[in-house]
Structure 1
Amino acid sequence: MALHVLPFWRPLSGSVVLGVYLCHAQVTQAAGFPGLQALAPGLGPYVNDAGYGDAFKVYGSLDGYVDTYDSGGRSGTRVGGGGAWTNKVGVFARQSLGDDLAVQAVVEQGFNFDDDALSEDGHWKRDVSRLRLAAVAVRSRRWGKLELGKTFAMNAPSFVDPFLAVAKLSPYSSLSRPVNAPGAYALDLRPKHSLAYTTPKWHGFSLGSMLTFGLDDAAADGKMLRGGGVRLDYWSPTLAVLAGYNRYLSNPYDTATQTDRQTRNDYYSLLGLYDFGSFSVSLAWQRQAVDAAAVPDLNVVTGGLMVPVGKHLARAVVVKRQVPGRDNDAWGVMVGYDHFLNPHTAVYVRAGMVVNQGDAGQTYAAIPLAARDDTPQDLAVGVYYNF
């Protein structure tokens, strides 16, 4: 029986079009990849809407789940939110300046409604609410796009993981975190105080670049330039290749001989996706090198699979985390299924685990570990609605 995509996963204009920010810095249109197309409603208009006419939209996501976990030494059941999509609300506006020129703006706020976040010890800004996106942009078919604000970086995009690198239920999100050492810096998917430019497409190719400024003294010790990066993207109807390099300074930290030290972090990424029609696969390599003595490099290899069948979407991911040293590596795997009740609503199931070597100590889905070689496992059932 042939696999197929339901008509509601296709735009009204006809052929399947993927309007995604490749590495979240530009709008690129490419036929194919129906698995990603099924998830498009949750990405928001700043990612999906490539038009040039006037527009104003309020959008967001509502997501809740129940999970049961076990790590060998600890187990339990929880109620949480953001298992498939971060709970969020946003406002998008665009003013047309001509047939191929427009200025647009977006503000998007994320929310965490877990029990811990809403407890007496919870803090609104730290635990419940967080600014995800705040940018203005000028877009032109001829000249490309210029963005200013808190916008998508030039590092590996969220679809490096078939589950879109959600913070809660993704082994990729857990295993791609920096090593736990002074000077290691977690590069935000959406760095604030940034200026980004993306060229128009040329034969499927485009080039994105970003500079992030150190306007926050607490984060950058007053340095004018915090970091930046570039990424080269290629998209065809069946093949996508994204290669990026970024360099950012860590948050200031103190050593025995120096205060407010900042360390250079270099990030390398290479991602390939191929659409076979009935399913698509992805393979990615990422490396983080920290310019500090005794801080090991981090390598992450991720393989993914998406299989859309009618109103159903099956996904799987395998992640390998490699850190030089003795027994520091970890593996992660997760499988998932989404059943779409309509284009914006789905129920989902996720089952995953992380296998640690003796000294790895990596968790998954915020599962507490009793020992560094524990194997955290999780089964979750949830529902989401994207509006």
Structure 2
Amino acid sequence: MTLYGAVDSFLQYSDNGGSTALRLQSGGASTSRWGLTGSEDLGGGAYAGFRLEGGINLMNGQQQSATSTFNRESNVWIGSERWGVLKFGKQYPAIPPEGADPFYAVGMLSPWASTVLAISDLGAGVTTVQARVDNAVSYHTPTFNGLSATVLYALRNEAGSSPVARNTGGLIDYARGPLELTVSYNAVWADAPPVSGAPATPSGPRTDLVMASALYQIGPVATSATYTLTRPTAPNTYVASVYSLGAVWSNGPHAIRAGAVYRNVSGREDSAIGALLGYDYQFSKLTGLYARVGAFRNQGQSAISFGSDPLSTPGVNPFVVAVGIRKKF
């Protein structure tokens, strides 16, 4: 069994159209967290394992979720290289790998995550995939000549609900040499508002999410490109498309990161373009410093910003500068 984790804190200056703020926050490069994981060799090439992982708010020492100790992952699995892996519990959804985002897609300073997860301007009844999916069962196939697949089914765990699922998803991944290609699809159902006296609990409308990514390593540079389509099925809603490009140049303890995103809402003149530039210096494999500078330009009713600097006013163009420390263990 292994105890592991990361503690990450950063100081951020932000300017939202003349409204400035200086904040100390948790989780700029990656979420502050701790976890337990372990595996057992069952013989014949089979193995079993588990993972329990919870987030931490480093600013006050509280757990990230007020209702869950292991809010990031809590699952158990059994598998083999020949037959694949079957996993039960809270786990990652069927989405492209973290390498598709040069800023990890998990920290609060990720332009890709900020745009892909934005749904508040798409209308009522729109939802998106959870960062970690509750009540999920997944199966990951063995890898054949670089090709593998994952299917996921997340139960609603509510009597009388229809459909029974909250999230169904699938992913196909091809990795060979310097190239990795991934395409995924998720159907996610929103929670329906409660109806007094109703014997059943029907689900809310479905949202379809399609994601595709391409990663290519060119010497010391890792490049990436992604596309995401968020398509609600509820009436009077809008479809959002997100395009992104990224690159990471690494040389010894140094790394320079760059990412750019463009988000468009069809049927409306709402769009956002954002970019983030970063520098990392690793004292060791476990300890590093990082710096980030980035901005978004919003048009129409768009109000996109970084997770560390949320906006509520459309049309504001946020700008952020941050420096931070991350220590893994």
Would you call these one fold, judging by a TM-score over 0.5? yes
Partner Cα separation in structure 2 for residue 329 and residue 305 of structure 1: 23
How many angstroms does 1:365 deviate by? 3.6
2:28 corresponds to 1:88: no
State the alpha-carbon separation in 2 of the partners of residues 63 and 271 from structure 1. 27
Amino acid at match of 1:203: N
Aligned match of 2:286: 344
Task: State how 1:54-133 maps to structure 2 within 5 Å.
Answer: 56-98=1-43, 100-114=45-59, 125-126=65-66, 131-133=71-73
Does residue 1:298 correspond to 2:262, yes or no?
no
The CA distance in 1 between the partners of 2:142 and 2:99, in whole Å, is 21
Map 1:292-331 onto structure 2 (within 5 A). 292-331=234-273
Q: Is the 8 A contact 2:163 2:202 kept in 1?
A: no
Cα offset for 1:341? 0.2
> In 1, are the aligned partners of 2:37 and 2:49 still within 8 Å (CA)?
yes
Taking a change above 3 Å as real, the CA distance of residues 144 and 283 of structure 1, as seen in their structure-2 partners, is same
Aligned partner letter, 1:307: W
How far the C-alpha of 1:173 sits from its partner, in A, is 1.8
What does 1:182-201 align with in structure 2 at a 5 Å threshold?
182-201=124-143
> What CA deviation, in whole Å up to 9, does each residue of 1:282-322 have, x standing for no partner?
10111111111111111111111010011111111101111
Identical-residue share of aligned pairs (%): 27
Go from structure 1 to structure 2 and tell me whether the alpha carbon gap of 1:354 and 1:128 turns closer, same or farther (over 3 Å shift): farther
Instruction: Determine the C-alpha separation between the residues in 2 that align with 1:379 and 1:99.
Output: 53
Mark the CA change 1:304 to 1:251 in structure 2 (over 3 Å): closer, same or farther: same
Task: List per-residue Cα deviations over 1:29-66 (Å, max 9, x = no partner).
Answer: xxxxxxxxxxxxxxxxxxxxxxxxxxx10000011111
277 and 99 in structure 1: CA distance in 2 versus 1, 3 angstrom threshold: farther
Structure 1 stretches of 4+ with a deviation exceeding 6 A read: none
Q: Which amino acid aligns with 1:140?
A: S
**Aligned partners of 2:92 and 2:132 also within 8 Å:** yes
Q: Could you tell me how far apart the structure 1 residues matched to 2:255 and 2:158 are?
A: 42
Hey, what does 2:157 align to over in structure 1? 215
Return the offset for 1:167: 4.3
TM-superposition CA deviations, 1:312-341 (whole Å, max 9, x none): 111111011111133310011001111000
Shift in Å at residue 73 of structure 1?
3.1
Amino acid at match of 1:326: R
Give deviations 1:155-202, integer Å, cap 9, x for gaps: 233332111112411122211124222211121132111110011010
Say if 1:126 and 1:319 are closer, same or farther in 2 by CA, change over 3 A. farther
Kindly indicate whether the alpha-carbon contact (under 8 Å) linking 1:74 and 1:368 is maintained by their aligned counterparts in 2.
no
Name the amino acid aligned to 1:94.
S
Q: Does 1:148 align with 2:88?
A: yes
Alpha-carbon distance change, 159 to 359 in structure 1, aligned in 2, over 3 angstroms: same
2:119 to 179, 183, 189: 179
CA pair 359-235 structure 1, distance change in 2 beyond 3 A: same
Alignment partners' CA distance in 2, 1:124 and 1:242: 30
Deviation, structure 1 residue 261:
5.0
In the alignment, structure 1 segments of 5+ residues that lack a partner are: 1-55
| Separation of aligned partners in 2, 1:183 and 1:363 | 22
Moved more, 344-353 or 223-232: 223-232
Q: Which has the higher helix share?
A: 1
Calculate the TM-score normalised by the size of structure 1.
Answer: 0.78
In structure 2, what is the equivalent of residue 163 of structure 1? Answer: 103
Distance in 2 (alpha carbons) for counterparts of 1:373 and 1:184: 22
- Equivalents in 1 of 2:319, 2:67: separation in Å? 24
Aligned partners of 2:255 and 2:279 also within 8 Å: yes
Please state how far the C-alpha of 1:129 moved relative to its aligned partner.
Answer: 6.0
* Distance in 2, Cα, partners of 1:365 & 1:212: 26
> 1:227-306 residue pairs with structure 2 within 5 A?
227-253=167-193, 262-306=204-248
Change in Cα spacing, 1:370 to 1:107, as seen in structure 2 (3 Å) is closer
Letter in 2 for 1:252: A
The structure in which a higher percent of residues are strand is 2
| Structure 1, 343-352 or 221-230: larger mean CA deviation | 221-230
Given that 1:212 and 1:228 are in contact with CA atoms closer than 8 Å, whether structure 2 keeps it comes out as yes
C-alpha change, 1:167 and 1:271, in structure 2 (3 Å) is same
Partner Cα separation in structure 1 for residue 276 and residue 68 of structure 2: 26
CA 1:369–1:92 in 2, change beyond 3 Å: closer, same or farther?
closer
Q: Would the aligned equivalents of 2:93 and 2:131 in 1 still touch at CA under 8 Å? A: yes
Q: TM-score, normalised by structure 2?
A: 0.91
Amino acid at match of 2:41: S
